[in-house]
Every structure is written in C-alpha cells, then in structure tokens.
Amino acid sequence: MNAVAWLVIGLVGWAGSVQAACMSYDTTAWTQSQRNHLSSIAYRLLFEAGENLVPTQTVEGMVSQLCFEGSSSDLNAILAETAILARMQQEAETQAANLAVELLRVQSLEDERRINPLCNAELDALTSRIDQTIANLQGQLDATSTVAQVKTHLRDQVYPALGTAFKQVARCLRAKVD
C-alpha cells in the first residue's frame, strides 16, 4: 500500500475512535428562553474551562441532550444543571442591568431634545436669538472704557455665553444623532 492509503485508513480509524460525551437535562421546569439558550451557555462554560467544542443538541419532549465530540473535560462538573442555570441567571441579570442603563441613556437624550431650546427652535428663531445676544454683548462691551472693564466683560459675559451656547449645541446634536 502506498502512503496515501495508510493516511486515509489512519484518519478513518482515528475518526471512528472519537467518543461523544453527552449530558441530558430535564427542562420541564425551565422557561422557553432557558431552553433556547442551553447550548450557547454550555458552549461558553466549556470554553471557559479550556474546551472549544460546539455541542450537538437533540430534544425529545422536555429532555434536551447535549453531545460533545472529543471532550477531555469532566462534563458532569462543568455542565451540571446548577452551573447551567446559575450562568443563565447571571447573564439575565447582566442583561437587565445593561437594559436599565440603556433606558436611562435614551430617556436623557429624549429629555434633552424636549427641553433644549436649540433642539426645537426654527432656524429664523435661532438666528434672531444669536443676533440679539451679539447685540447685547456688543452694547455691554461698548460701555466699557478701561482694559480692566473689557477683561471683566469678557470673563463674566462673553466667555460664559459662548460656553453655554456651545454646550447647548453639542447636547442637542448628541441627542438628535443618537
């Protein structure tokens, strides 16, 4: 026989010797979401234990069976039903916490769009407001006569007005884009 034939025979023999390790779970008391996530949770638990094995899942009634080809780990220890359910609970709590944070973020953006005068004003109204603010600041600046008064006016009037305007524009843009 040539080398290729021996290689094929060896691979077939090796493939036939790989054993599947299986775990069964009675999912009668589980929610549908828990049943749906069984194989993904099992995969993650095994991956964290150093095994990169994708399970094959079969379901008969309310019994789910997960099989793993070539596992060298103690599946009973890693994939015990309590470990599976605990991980599902942990992930559900994490997801709920992330959802709560996202809902708060969305609510703050909606609040900003509602209360920020720049978000809801028409362009003509914005232009008029800007022109009026510039005229007021210019009038105050014209009333100053010393360098110290100019500095005070810039520090106390102009710079805060610019800062407020930029902040409102930035918050409105962020609220509209997100």
pLDDT band at 10 (very low <50, low <70, confident <90, very high): very low
Report the C-alpha gap between 12 and 28 in whole angstroms. Answer: 39
**Helix, coil or strand: residue 19:** coil
Q: Which residues contact 35 (CB under 8 A, 6 or more apart)?
A: 27, 59, 64
Task: Return the pLDDT at 61.
Answer: 94
Query: Residue 173: what pLDDT?
Result: 82
**pTM here?**
0.59
The fold for domain 3-86 equals Ribosomal Protein S8; Chain: A, domain 1 (3.30.1370)
The 10s digit of each residue's pLDDT in 132-147 is 988 988 888 888 889 9
- Report the percentage of the chain scoring pLDDT > 70: 89
d(CA 122, CA 109): 20
Residue extents of the structural domains in the chain:
3-86, 116-177
